[in-house]
């Protein structure tokens, strides 16, 4: 396999990242999209949906300090999201919202999953926040514009009220999470914390019944010696997408795996 330029000359990687981010945000300035930017302390009157997720995963095998660093990063980024209003006609963009979260206080080295490998990285852990935001906003009528699932899963998912396949990975300069408000009502985010969990809520200006998000099908298949998970994600009975990711941990005993056909 041909190596990328930055793999041959790794000292150029920081310059490449800077270039990508510069082009990434320049393209946003020119795309004609109205991005959600206004934060409001007072909540809109109607709670649409609430969820939470434990911040510590004991199954990573890494030192606890990197998970504590992840929590620090989550709290820092959440300050730019708490109270954010997505008005009619506006688009929520993860990176537009958190772009300057580390301007005055830098992120720490936290855990991040990069190309299926769990490792430490500056600002690591923000995917937990994007996962939570995507799950929250799926319970509104916002239209999914951009969402990327993790290509690989290195360890089992922590306990959650979410079905499989509703993660949303982000990488500044490369991958964003975007949803557009094509309704007539504004929506608002709230991000908070207790000692163990990150907590998300979404509010609306008028009563709104959250759509049902569920798996229409979940299966595992062996392809060229690797195991892949396929999860159909439905919103109010309609297929949104089929999430595909490679499984690199050992599945529970008895899990049915479709074997590839022998040619």
Torsion angle of the four alpha carbons 194, 63, 76, 92, in this order, in degrees rounded to the nearest 10: -90
Q: DSSP code of 82?
A: T
H helix intervals, the chain: 5-8, 13-30, 64-78, 94-98, 126-137
Q: Which pLDDT belongs to residue 59?
A: 63
- Tokens for 45, please give them: 């009157």
Rounded to whole angstroms, the Cα distance separating 216 from 237 reads: 8
- Tokens for 118, please give them: 């769990």
Share of the chain above pLDDT 70, in %: 90
At residue 75 the predicted structure's pLDDT band, cuts being 50, 70 and 90, is: very high
Q: Which pLDDT belongs to residue 154?
A: 80
Q: Which pLDDT belongs to residue 10?
A: 61
Q: Which pLDDT belongs to residue 99?
A: 96
Residue 18 in this model has a pLDDT that exceeds 70? yes
Please tell me which residue, 101 or 120, carries the higher pLDDT value. Answer: 101
At residue 156 the predicted structure's pLDDT band, cuts being 50, 70 and 90, is: confident
Share of the chain above pLDDT 90, in %: 75
Strand partners, 222: 227
Rounded to whole angstroms, the Cα distance separating 166 from 149 reads: 7
Among 8-12, 43-47, 88-92, 190-194, the minimum mean pLDDT is found in 8-12
Phi (first) and psi of residue 53, to 5 degrees? -150, 135
Residue 152 in this model has a pLDDT that exceeds 70? yes
Q: DSSP code of 252?
A: P
| Average pLDDT score over residue span 56-67 | 76
Q: What is the average pLDDT value for the chain, to the nearest integer?
A: 90
Strands 257-258 and 178-180: unpaired
Please tell me which residue, 118 or 190, carries the higher pLDDT value. Answer: 190
Look at the block and give the residue holding tokens 């992120």.
107
Q: Which pLDDT belongs to residue 213?
A: 97
């Amino acid at each position: 396999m041909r190596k990328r330029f930055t793999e041959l000359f790794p000292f150029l990687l920081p310059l490449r990242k800077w270039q990508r981010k510069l082009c990434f945000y320049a393209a946003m300035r020119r795309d004609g999209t109205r991005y959600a930017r206004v934060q409001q302390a007072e909540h809109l009157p109607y709670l649409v949906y609430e969820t939470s997720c434990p911040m510590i995963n004991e199954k990573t095998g890494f030192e606890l300090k990197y998970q504590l660093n992840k929590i620090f990063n989550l709290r820092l980024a959440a300050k730019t999201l708490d109270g954010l209003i997505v008005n009619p006609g506006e688009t929520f963009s993860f990176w537009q919202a958190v772009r300057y979260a580390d301007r005055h206080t830098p992120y720490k080295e936290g855990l991040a999953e990069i190309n299926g490998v769990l490792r430490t990285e500056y600002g690591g852990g923000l995917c937990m926040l994007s996962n939570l935001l995507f799950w929250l906003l799926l319970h509104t009528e916002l239209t999914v514009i951009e969402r990327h699932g993790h290509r690989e899963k290195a360890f089992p998912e922590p306990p959650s009220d979410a079905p499989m396949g509703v993660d949303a990975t982000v990488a500044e300069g490369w991958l964003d999470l975007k949803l557009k408000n094509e309704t007539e009502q504004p929506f608002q985010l709230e991000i908070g914390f207790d000692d163990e969990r990150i907590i998300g809520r979404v509010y609306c200006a008028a009563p709104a019944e959250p759509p049902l998000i569920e798996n229409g099908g979940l299966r595992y298949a062996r392809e060229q010696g690797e195991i892949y998970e396929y999860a159909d994600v439905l919103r109010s009975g309609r297929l949104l997408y089929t999430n595909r990711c490679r499984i690199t941990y050992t599945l529970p005993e008895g899990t049915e795996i479709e074997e590839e056909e022998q040619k």
